[in-house]
Protein backbone atom coordinates (compact mmCIF):
# COMPACT_ATOMS: atom_id res chain seq x y z
CA UNK A 1 0.00 0.00 0.00
CA UNK A 2 1.15 3.51 -0.79
CA UNK A 3 1.39 6.05 2.07
CA UNK A 4 1.57 9.76 1.33
CA UNK A 5 2.86 12.32 3.85
CA UNK A 6 1.62 15.84 3.18
CA UNK A 7 0.49 19.18 4.60
CA UNK A 8 3.66 20.18 6.43
CA UNK A 9 7.20 21.39 5.80
CA UNK A 10 9.45 18.57 4.56
CA UNK A 11 13.25 18.56 4.75
CA UNK A 12 14.32 18.08 1.13
CA UNK A 13 17.95 18.51 0.07
CA UNK A 14 18.79 20.77 2.98
CA UNK A 15 15.71 22.98 2.87
CA UNK A 16 12.33 22.86 4.60
CA UNK A 17 9.82 22.98 1.76
CA UNK A 18 6.09 23.53 1.92
CA UNK A 19 3.61 22.35 -0.68
CA UNK A 20 5.34 18.99 -1.18
CA UNK A 21 4.36 15.39 -0.45
CA UNK A 22 6.34 12.20 0.12
CA UNK A 23 5.06 8.95 -1.34
CA UNK A 24 6.17 5.74 0.41
CA UNK A 25 5.67 2.20 -0.80
CA UNK A 26 7.13 -1.10 0.47
CA UNK A 27 9.17 0.78 3.07
CA UNK A 28 10.97 2.95 0.54
CA UNK A 29 10.44 6.53 -0.58
CA UNK A 30 8.80 6.23 -3.96
CA UNK A 31 8.72 9.91 -4.92
CA UNK A 32 8.79 13.46 -3.63
CA UNK A 33 6.10 15.37 -5.50
CA UNK A 34 3.95 18.51 -5.27
CA UNK A 35 1.14 18.11 -2.76
CA UNK A 36 -2.31 17.35 -4.11
CA UNK A 37 -5.73 18.02 -2.52
CA UNK A 38 -6.43 14.28 -2.56
CA UNK A 39 -3.23 12.23 -2.40
CA UNK A 40 -3.29 8.84 -4.11
CA UNK A 41 -2.91 6.39 -1.22
CA UNK A 42 -3.24 6.34 2.53
CA UNK A 43 -2.75 9.96 3.54
CA UNK A 44 -0.80 11.01 6.62
CA UNK A 45 -1.77 14.62 7.34
CA UNK A 46 1.20 16.27 9.02
CA UNK A 47 -1.06 19.13 10.15
CA UNK A 48 1.83 21.59 9.83
CA UNK A 49 4.39 19.41 11.60
CA UNK A 50 7.88 18.92 10.15
CA UNK A 51 8.80 15.71 8.32
CA UNK A 52 12.54 14.98 8.44
CA UNK A 53 14.85 11.99 7.98
CA UNK A 54 14.94 9.84 11.10
CA UNK A 55 17.83 10.52 13.45
CA UNK A 56 20.92 8.30 13.42
CA UNK A 57 22.85 7.97 16.68
CA UNK A 58 26.27 6.32 16.47
CA UNK A 59 26.84 6.20 20.25
CA UNK A 60 24.09 4.62 22.35
CA UNK A 61 25.21 2.82 25.50
CA UNK A 62 21.74 2.21 26.83
CA UNK A 63 18.17 3.36 27.24
CA UNK A 64 14.88 2.31 28.76
CA UNK A 65 16.61 1.20 31.94
CA UNK A 66 19.02 -1.26 30.29
CA UNK A 67 22.75 -1.05 29.52
CA UNK A 68 24.32 -2.88 26.57
CA UNK A 69 27.40 -3.90 28.61
CA UNK A 70 25.25 -5.56 31.29
CA UNK A 71 23.41 -7.94 28.99
CA UNK A 72 24.59 -7.80 25.38
CA UNK A 73 21.59 -9.61 23.91
CA UNK A 74 19.06 -9.09 21.15
CA UNK A 75 16.44 -8.29 23.80
CA UNK A 76 18.60 -5.53 25.27
CA UNK A 77 19.21 -4.05 21.83
CA UNK A 78 15.47 -4.05 21.11
CA UNK A 79 14.73 -2.32 24.43
CA UNK A 80 17.36 0.36 23.79
CA UNK A 81 16.03 0.97 20.29
CA UNK A 82 12.44 1.26 21.52
CA UNK A 83 13.44 3.79 24.21
CA UNK A 84 15.31 6.03 21.77
CA UNK A 85 12.72 5.76 19.02
CA UNK A 86 10.41 7.87 21.18
CA UNK A 87 12.91 10.69 20.66
CA UNK A 88 13.25 10.38 16.89
CA UNK A 89 16.10 7.89 16.59
CA UNK A 90 15.37 5.50 13.73
CA UNK A 91 18.93 4.22 13.30
CA UNK A 92 21.56 3.52 15.96
CA UNK A 93 24.72 1.68 16.92
CA UNK A 94 24.46 -0.14 20.27
CA UNK A 95 27.66 0.92 22.00
CA UNK A 96 29.83 -1.25 24.22
CA UNK A 97 32.30 0.55 26.46
CA UNK A 98 35.63 -1.06 27.43
CA UNK A 99 35.10 -4.67 28.44
CA UNK A 100 36.70 -8.10 28.21
CA UNK A 101 37.05 -9.76 24.81
CA UNK A 102 34.41 -12.46 25.50
CA UNK A 103 31.86 -9.71 26.21
CA UNK A 104 32.79 -8.01 22.95
CA UNK A 105 32.20 -11.31 21.12
CA UNK A 106 28.76 -11.64 22.75
CA UNK A 107 27.90 -8.06 21.80
CA UNK A 108 28.88 -8.57 18.16
CA UNK A 109 26.86 -11.78 17.98
CA UNK A 110 23.85 -10.04 19.52
CA UNK A 111 23.99 -7.23 16.94
CA UNK A 112 24.28 -9.79 14.14
CA UNK A 113 21.16 -11.53 15.46
CA UNK A 114 19.31 -8.26 15.93
CA UNK A 115 19.88 -7.24 12.31
CA UNK A 116 19.06 -10.75 11.05
CA UNK A 117 15.78 -10.75 12.99
CA UNK A 118 14.81 -7.25 11.90
CA UNK A 119 15.06 -5.40 15.23
CA UNK A 120 14.05 -1.89 14.15
CA UNK A 121 16.80 0.65 13.65
CA UNK A 122 19.94 -1.42 14.30
CA UNK A 123 22.67 -0.37 11.85
CA UNK A 124 25.68 -2.09 13.44
CA UNK A 125 27.81 -1.81 16.56
CA UNK A 126 30.10 0.74 18.20
CA UNK A 127 32.93 -0.81 20.20
CA UNK A 128 34.32 2.03 22.35
CA UNK A 129 37.53 0.64 23.78
CA UNK A 130 39.18 -1.18 25.43
CA UNK A 131 42.09 -0.05 23.23
CA UNK A 132 42.37 3.33 24.93
CA UNK A 133 44.86 5.47 26.80
CA UNK A 134 44.34 4.76 30.48
CA UNK A 135 45.15 8.39 31.33
CA UNK A 136 42.11 9.49 29.31
CA UNK A 137 39.81 6.62 30.24
CA UNK A 138 37.14 8.72 31.95
CA UNK A 139 34.53 6.33 33.38
CA UNK A 140 36.08 3.31 31.58
CA UNK A 141 37.62 0.83 34.01
CA UNK A 142 41.42 0.80 33.99
CA UNK A 143 41.55 -3.00 34.40
CA UNK A 144 39.58 -3.45 31.16
CA UNK A 145 41.96 -1.44 28.98
CA UNK A 146 44.35 -3.50 26.87
CA UNK A 147 46.59 -3.24 23.78
CA UNK A 148 45.24 -3.79 20.29
CA UNK A 149 46.73 -6.94 18.81
CA UNK A 150 46.00 -9.11 15.77
CA UNK A 151 43.70 -11.39 17.77
CA UNK A 152 41.60 -8.40 18.75
CA UNK A 153 41.56 -7.07 15.17
CA UNK A 154 40.15 -10.39 13.93
CA UNK A 155 37.56 -10.34 16.69
CA UNK A 156 36.50 -6.73 16.09
CA UNK A 157 35.85 -7.34 12.39
CA UNK A 158 33.70 -10.47 12.67
CA UNK A 159 30.31 -8.73 12.34
CA UNK A 160 28.52 -10.19 9.32
CA UNK A 161 25.75 -7.59 9.02
CA UNK A 162 25.83 -3.85 9.52
CA UNK A 163 28.62 -1.42 10.29
CA UNK A 164 31.37 -1.77 12.90
CA UNK A 165 32.69 1.43 14.49
CA UNK A 166 35.76 1.06 16.69
CA UNK A 167 36.95 3.83 19.02
CA UNK A 168 40.61 3.56 19.94
CA UNK A 169 43.52 5.72 21.06
CA UNK A 170 45.90 6.26 18.12
CA UNK A 171 48.77 6.83 20.55
CA UNK A 172 48.30 3.32 21.94
CA UNK A 173 48.51 1.51 18.62
CA UNK A 174 50.16 1.91 15.21
CA UNK A 175 49.02 3.26 11.84
CA UNK A 176 49.54 -0.26 10.49
CA UNK A 177 46.98 -1.70 12.91
CA UNK A 178 44.52 1.05 12.03
CA UNK A 179 45.09 0.38 8.34
CA UNK A 180 44.38 -3.31 8.91
CA UNK A 181 41.14 -2.59 10.76
CA UNK A 182 39.96 -0.30 7.96
CA UNK A 183 40.95 -2.83 5.28
CA UNK A 184 38.84 -5.44 7.09
CA UNK A 185 35.78 -3.16 6.97
CA UNK A 186 35.83 -1.34 10.30
CA UNK A 187 35.25 2.38 10.68
CA UNK A 188 37.88 3.73 13.07
CA UNK A 189 37.47 6.73 15.38
CA UNK A 190 39.83 8.39 17.83
CA UNK A 191 38.76 8.72 21.44
CA UNK A 192 40.05 8.54 25.01
CA UNK A 193 43.48 9.47 23.69
CA UNK A 194 46.54 11.59 24.39
CA UNK A 195 47.64 11.46 20.75
CA UNK A 196 49.82 14.26 19.50
CA UNK A 197 49.03 16.13 16.31
CA UNK A 198 51.61 14.00 14.48
CA UNK A 199 50.20 10.73 15.82
CA UNK A 200 46.66 11.74 14.88
CA UNK A 201 47.75 12.85 11.43
CA UNK A 202 49.42 9.47 10.85
CA UNK A 203 46.26 7.69 12.01
CA UNK A 204 44.14 9.76 9.62
CA UNK A 205 46.50 8.89 6.77
CA UNK A 206 46.03 5.22 7.73
CA UNK A 207 42.25 5.52 7.37
CA UNK A 208 40.91 6.79 10.71
CA UNK A 209 37.82 8.80 9.83
CA UNK A 210 35.98 9.57 13.07
CA UNK A 211 36.32 11.26 16.43
CA UNK A 212 34.35 10.13 19.47
CA UNK A 213 32.79 12.92 21.58
CA UNK A 214 35.01 15.73 20.32
CA UNK A 215 36.87 17.64 23.08
CA UNK A 216 36.00 15.06 25.75
CA UNK A 217 38.71 12.61 26.87
CA UNK A 218 41.35 13.69 24.36
CA UNK A 219 44.43 15.90 24.14
CA UNK A 220 43.41 19.50 23.56
CA UNK A 221 44.43 22.22 21.12
CA UNK A 222 47.44 24.08 22.48
CA UNK A 223 49.69 26.90 21.39
CA UNK A 224 52.73 24.70 20.64
CA UNK A 225 51.10 21.28 20.33
CA UNK A 226 47.82 21.02 18.44
CA UNK A 227 46.97 17.63 19.93
CA UNK A 228 44.09 15.39 18.97
CA UNK A 229 41.59 18.24 18.82
CA UNK A 230 43.84 20.30 16.59
CA UNK A 231 44.36 17.42 14.17
CA UNK A 232 40.60 16.85 13.96
CA UNK A 233 39.82 20.50 13.33
CA UNK A 234 42.65 20.72 10.78
CA UNK A 235 41.55 17.69 8.76
CA UNK A 236 38.88 17.38 6.08
CA UNK A 237 38.75 13.59 6.46
CA UNK A 238 37.33 13.25 9.97
CA UNK A 239 33.71 13.35 11.08
CA UNK A 240 33.42 14.17 14.76
CA UNK A 241 30.62 13.26 17.14
CA UNK A 242 29.56 16.01 19.53
CA UNK A 243 27.42 15.86 22.69
CA UNK A 244 25.30 19.00 22.77
CA UNK A 245 23.92 19.01 26.30
CA UNK A 246 25.62 22.17 27.55
CA UNK A 247 27.61 20.15 30.09
CA UNK A 248 30.00 17.87 28.24
CA UNK A 249 31.39 20.77 26.20
CA UNK A 250 30.83 24.50 26.54
CA UNK A 251 28.55 25.68 23.71
CA UNK A 252 31.09 28.37 22.76
CA UNK A 253 33.72 25.68 22.21
CA UNK A 254 31.36 23.76 19.93
CA UNK A 255 30.56 26.93 18.01
CA UNK A 256 34.29 27.35 17.38
CA UNK A 257 34.43 23.77 16.04
CA UNK A 258 31.54 24.47 13.67
CA UNK A 259 33.28 27.58 12.38
CA UNK A 260 36.48 25.58 11.87
CA UNK A 261 34.98 22.56 10.10
CA UNK A 262 31.40 23.38 9.19
CA UNK A 263 28.31 21.61 10.46
CA UNK A 264 28.65 18.98 7.72
CA UNK A 265 31.73 17.57 9.51
CA UNK A 266 30.02 17.22 12.90
CA UNK A 267 27.37 14.68 13.85
CA UNK A 268 25.13 14.74 16.89
CA UNK A 269 25.48 11.82 19.30
CA UNK A 270 23.89 11.19 22.67
CA UNK A 271 26.38 8.86 24.42
CA UNK A 272 23.15 7.89 26.15
CA UNK A 273 22.87 5.72 29.22
CA UNK A 274 19.92 3.66 30.58
CA UNK A 275 18.37 6.82 32.07
CA UNK A 276 17.03 7.90 28.67
CA UNK A 277 13.48 6.66 28.92
CA UNK A 278 14.36 4.87 32.18
CA UNK A 279 15.12 5.29 35.91
CA UNK A 280 17.39 8.11 37.12
CA UNK A 281 20.03 5.73 38.51
CA UNK A 282 21.85 2.61 37.31
CA UNK A 283 25.03 0.62 37.95
CA UNK A 284 27.91 0.71 35.47
CA UNK A 285 30.53 -2.01 36.01
CA UNK A 286 30.09 -1.82 39.79
CA UNK A 287 29.74 1.98 40.06
CA UNK A 288 26.54 3.78 40.98
CA UNK A 289 25.65 6.31 38.28
CA UNK A 290 22.92 8.92 38.68
CA UNK A 291 21.58 11.91 36.81
CA UNK A 292 22.71 15.23 38.29
CA UNK A 293 21.77 18.50 36.56
CA UNK A 294 21.06 16.69 33.31
CA UNK A 295 24.22 14.56 33.10
CA UNK A 296 25.19 11.08 34.29
CA UNK A 297 27.96 11.03 36.91
CA UNK A 298 29.45 8.62 39.42
CA UNK A 299 29.82 9.42 43.12
CA UNK A 300 33.08 11.28 42.39
CA UNK A 301 31.42 13.49 39.77
CA UNK A 302 33.09 11.80 36.77
CA UNK A 303 30.98 12.03 33.64
CA UNK A 304 29.51 8.65 32.70
CA UNK A 305 27.79 9.11 29.38
CA UNK A 306 24.72 11.29 29.13
CA UNK A 307 21.00 11.58 29.78
CA UNK A 308 20.57 13.19 26.36
CA UNK A 309 18.21 12.11 23.59
CA UNK A 310 18.49 13.04 19.92
CA UNK A 311 15.43 15.31 19.84
CA UNK A 312 16.94 17.43 22.61
CA UNK A 313 20.33 17.35 20.89
CA UNK A 314 18.73 18.82 17.77
CA UNK A 315 16.88 21.48 19.75
CA UNK A 316 20.05 22.34 21.71
CA UNK A 317 22.01 22.69 18.48
CA UNK A 318 19.57 25.38 17.43
CA UNK A 319 19.30 27.19 20.77
CA UNK A 320 22.81 26.72 22.20
CA UNK A 321 24.90 26.68 19.05
CA UNK A 322 22.84 29.06 16.94
CA UNK A 323 22.57 26.67 14.00
CA UNK A 324 19.68 26.76 11.53
CA UNK A 325 17.19 23.97 12.10
CA UNK A 326 18.04 22.51 8.70
CA UNK A 327 21.71 22.19 9.72
CA UNK A 328 20.80 20.66 13.09
CA UNK A 329 18.57 18.08 11.40
CA UNK A 330 21.33 17.19 8.95
CA UNK A 331 23.81 16.77 11.83
CA UNK A 332 21.38 14.23 13.27
CA UNK A 333 20.73 12.35 10.04
CA UNK A 334 22.62 13.04 6.78
CA UNK A 335 26.02 13.53 8.43
CA UNK A 336 26.05 10.29 10.47
CA UNK A 337 24.54 8.38 7.53
CA UNK A 338 27.40 9.53 5.30
CA UNK A 339 29.95 8.75 8.01
CA UNK A 340 28.68 5.16 8.17
CA UNK A 341 28.68 4.86 4.38
CA UNK A 342 24.88 4.63 4.34
CA UNK A 343 24.06 7.96 2.72
CA UNK A 344 22.32 6.42 -0.27
CA UNK A 345 19.75 4.67 1.94
CA UNK A 346 19.44 6.89 5.03
CA UNK A 347 19.61 10.50 6.09
CA UNK A 348 17.66 12.03 3.21
CA UNK A 349 14.10 12.33 1.97
CA UNK A 350 14.38 11.47 -1.70
CA UNK A 351 13.30 8.77 -4.11
CA UNK A 352 15.05 5.46 -3.44
CA UNK A 353 15.87 6.16 0.20
CA UNK A 354 14.49 4.13 3.09
CA UNK A 355 11.33 5.50 4.66
CA UNK A 356 12.95 6.04 8.06
CA UNK A 357 11.32 9.30 9.08
CA UNK A 358 10.51 11.50 12.04
CA UNK A 359 7.60 13.87 12.48
CA UNK A 360 8.44 16.86 14.68
CA UNK A 361 6.08 19.28 16.32
CA UNK A 362 6.88 23.02 16.14
CA UNK A 363 8.65 22.78 19.54
CA UNK A 364 10.83 19.97 18.04
CA UNK A 365 9.33 17.27 20.24
CA UNK A 366 8.65 14.01 18.44
CA UNK A 367 5.12 13.23 17.31
CA UNK A 368 5.89 9.93 15.56
CA UNK A 369 8.52 7.95 13.67
CA UNK A 370 8.67 5.40 10.89
CA UNK A 371 11.43 2.81 10.45
CA UNK A 372 12.04 0.67 7.41
CA UNK A 373 12.46 -2.93 8.50
CA UNK A 374 15.48 -4.46 6.78
CA UNK A 375 13.86 -7.86 6.24
CA UNK A 376 10.36 -6.89 5.15
CA UNK A 377 11.04 -3.56 3.41
CA UNK A 378 8.07 -1.88 5.00
CA UNK A 379 7.94 1.20 7.17
CA UNK A 380 6.50 0.63 10.63
CA UNK A 381 5.02 3.66 12.42
CA UNK A 382 5.43 4.60 16.06
CA UNK A 383 3.69 7.26 18.11
Domains of the chain, by residue range, sit at 2-52+347-382, 55-339
The answer to whether 163 and 126 are in contact (CB under 8 A) is: no
55 contacts 244 by C-beta, under 8 angstroms: no
pLDDT at 379: 67
Does 3.90.660.10 match the CATH number of domain 2-52+347-382?
no
Residue 299: active-site member = no
Is the CB of residue 272 less than 8 Å from the CB of residue 307?
yes
Q: For residue 143, which phi and psi values (nearest 5 degrees)?
A: -75, -5
Q: CA-to-CA distance for 125 and 59, rounded, in angstroms?
A: 9
Q: For residue 373, what pLDDT is reported?
A: 65
Residue 130: is the preceding peptide bond cis (ω within 30°)?
Answer: yes
Considering 271, 300, 309, 363, which one is annotated as catalytic? 271
- Cα 39 from chain centroid (whole Å): 34
* Per-residue confidence (pLDDT) for residue 40, from 0 to 100: 80
DSSP readout, 366-381? EEEEEEE-TTT--EEE
> Which regions in the chain score pLDDT beneath 70?
373-379, 383
**Which residues, including other chains, have CB under 8 Å from residue 333's CB and lie 6 or more apart?**
52, 53, 54, 55, 56, 346, 347, 348
Give the pLDDT score at 376: 46
| Ramachandran bin of 54, using left for φ above 0, alpha for ψ from -120 to 50, beta for the remaining angles | beta
CB atoms within 10 A of CB 79: 22
**pLDDT tens sequence across 176-226:** 999 999 999 999 999 999 999 999 999 999 999 999 999 999 999 999 999
User: Is domain 55-339 given the CATH code 3.20.20.140 in the classification?
Assistant: yes
Amino acid sequence: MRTVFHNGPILIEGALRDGMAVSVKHGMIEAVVPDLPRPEGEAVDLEGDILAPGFIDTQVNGGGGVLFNDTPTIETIAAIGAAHRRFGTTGFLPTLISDDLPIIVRAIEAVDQAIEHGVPGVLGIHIEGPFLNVERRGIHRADKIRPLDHEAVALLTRLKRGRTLVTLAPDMTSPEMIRTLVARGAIVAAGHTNASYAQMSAAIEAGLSGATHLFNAMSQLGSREAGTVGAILDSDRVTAGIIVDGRHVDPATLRVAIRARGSEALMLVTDAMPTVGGPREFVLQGKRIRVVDGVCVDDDGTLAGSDLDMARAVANTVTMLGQPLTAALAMASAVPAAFLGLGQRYGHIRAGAAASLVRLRPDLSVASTWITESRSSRATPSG
